[in-house]
A and B are shown apart, each in its own frame.
Chain A
Amino acid sequence: MSSQRISRIAPRESATLHREHVPDKPLQRPRGRFLLDRGASLPLILPATILVLIFLVGPFGYMTYTAMTDLSYANPDQNGAFVGLDNFRHLVRNDPIFWHSFWLTIRFVLVAVGLEFVFGFAIAWLIWRFVERQRLLTTLFLVPMMLAPVAVGLIWRLLLQGDFGMVTHYLHKVGLLSQSSAVFSSPSLVMPTIIAIDVWQWTPFVTLIILAGLMSLPKPPFEAATMDGAGPWRQFVDILLPLLRPIIALVLLLRAIDAFKEFDKVFILTGGGPGTISELLSIYAYRVNFKNWDLGYGAAVAFMVYLVVLIMCSVFYKAVYWKSAGAAGR
């Protein structure tokens, strides 16, 4: 799989990228040298591998098999007979709701993660440039992402409730929302609101990681650029962004993976409605699995989700890291 090749390249590129500017650290470790021999490393790495194999790969394999059966806990006629790729065929050809959810999820991931990135980056940059004592501030910024997802959904349900929601009240008051409407009863506002809440919840995560990246930036390239007479904007575009590229890639990747699996908030806030306006893939998968108990078909849906995330991440990873390697002059 192509993703494996990328992964082999990526971490090392990023490592050298940073180490070029940190000469007091040892450079590339000699290849193929075993500091620990096999005898010593096997017992160290084996428990983790076995655990993952048994409790993750096992169930995942079983799920993949289930995806090729008609297993259902509800319908007595579907007793788990092998049906090959029928579920996938039906999913791809005859399931408009799946495709609706699919594109909705893609749009949700792009917009939400995009906004989180822009805001998170801006906030991180402001803190980095203008705030000296960051500890308490950053901890407070972290609050939204530290809350249990179930609690986040409920908090916002309370805040945006149309009759006694605090936020609704002030939206009405300043005229951002007409008196005769409420957020989750206005179909056109539902997805933007969900995205806004996601941005509220996860921007701190982007800020955190970008901030850490900014703080570990080497000084010399900037000093050299200043001597060459490059303005702050040029420095930002030509030096800062390329140096941060691995971290940007990382944060986008992590957020995209999690945004793709977004469930708790949306489920509590809208249940996928009104209609199918906010029916993300994970909500659809939940319905098929836990409402209809159509486990074979549900497994097929889940497998598709996994596949899409995997492909998306691989392609993305590849693109960003190759570019970053190019930018670093390799």
Chain B
Amino acid sequence: MNRSYKILAVGVLACILVIALTPYIWMLLTSFKGRLDILSPEPRWFFTPTFDNYPAVFIDKAYLPLVMNSLVISIATTVLSICIGAPAAYVFARNDFPGKEDLFFFFLTTRMAPPISIAVPLFMFFTLIGLTDTIYSVVIAHTTFNLSLVVWMMRGFFAEIPKEIDEAAMMDGRSRLGAFVRVIIPMAAPGLAATAVLCFILSWNEFLYAFILVAFEGRPLTVGIPGLITPHGTLWGQVAAVAVVATLPILIFTFLVQKHLVRGLTFGAVKG
């Protein structure tokens, strides 16, 4: 009886998995199709694959540097977000001070502001300080918007580490900062990795700020995608090729840190 329930449950889950994955697999197939296969009214699951779409967009249209741009922006954002966000999260996890929860909530509310209307003021501001068109501007913007996430996730991870460890480290003669950097950070490494991956993904997938703030030479992949939708026909094969390349690093990273990702996301809720 129990066994048949299990078979039923696994069957249901398998169906759901198919639904979840089919669109992506279709994208993958599309990236190896010629235009006539893509536009065929009868869906073509089997076809003679072409490898033209990848060189056509990455070499001929020179989208390869965009992959580099995406990487630079996302990695810089991730490093900066962690370096600035983690210490703040540590304070939230360890200290009580007046207005602490208000400040914490304030960090969370930054998620609620609609990006569409922050974008123009932000652009003007960066122009004022001479940073528009540079990669710095978008890295700063992404970092700012990632902070809420870092603070929220890392607070949970730090709270999990017993305070006695800080105290022991300090008794060994380390300063408080030294204890944080040398002892606590290594202990929170899995959580840190999960947080970092999430930062990376959010920055990698972001479109609006990257479009508005970065110059043409520095634009990431997401900003390049609309350029393939033209009045002379959408280049579906190339769109698919870009989409596939754009998701690869994310899928790999997600798989690597999946376990910690789940824990990290929920800590914010279950641990003060």
Contacts and interface: CB of A to CB of B under 8 A. Distances in A.
Tell me whether A and B are bound partners: yes
Interface of A: 3-4, 7-8, 11-12, 14-16, 18, 26, 29, 31-38, 40-41, 43-45, 47-49, 51-52, 55-56, 58-60, 62-63, 66, 123, 126-127, 129-131, 135-144, 146-151, 154-156, 158-159, 163-164, 166, 169-170, 200, 204, 208-209, 211-213, 216, 246-247, 249-250, 257, 261, 263-264, 282, 285-286, 289-290, 295, 298-299, 301-303, 305-306, 309-310, 313
Contacts, number: 282
B88 A141 contact: no
Please tell me the size bucket of the interface on B.
35 or more
Would you call the interface of chain B mostly helix, strand, loop, or mixed? helix
B222 A150 contact: yes
B144 A51 contact: yes
Contacts of A12: 272
A250 B113 contact: no
Nearest to B207: A150
B16 interface: yes
Interface stretch (B49-57, B59-67, B103-111, B185-193): B103-111
B270 A51 contact: no
12 contacts: A11-B104, A18-B271, A43-B87, A51-B140, A142-B254, A146-B251, A163-B41, A209-B265, A212-B262, A257-B111, A289-B117, A310-B109
Contacts of A143: 20-21, 24, 247, 251
A140 B107 contact: no
A211 B266 CA distance: 10
A44 B91 contact: yes
Given A47-B88, A141-B20, A35 B95 contact: yes
Among the interface residues A63, A149, A289, which one has the most CB atoms of the partner chain B within 10 A? A63
B113 A164 contact: no
A52 B110 contact: yes
B79 interface: no
Contact of B96 (A16, A33, A146): A33
A290 B207 CA distance: 15
B13 A8 contact: no
B84 interface: yes
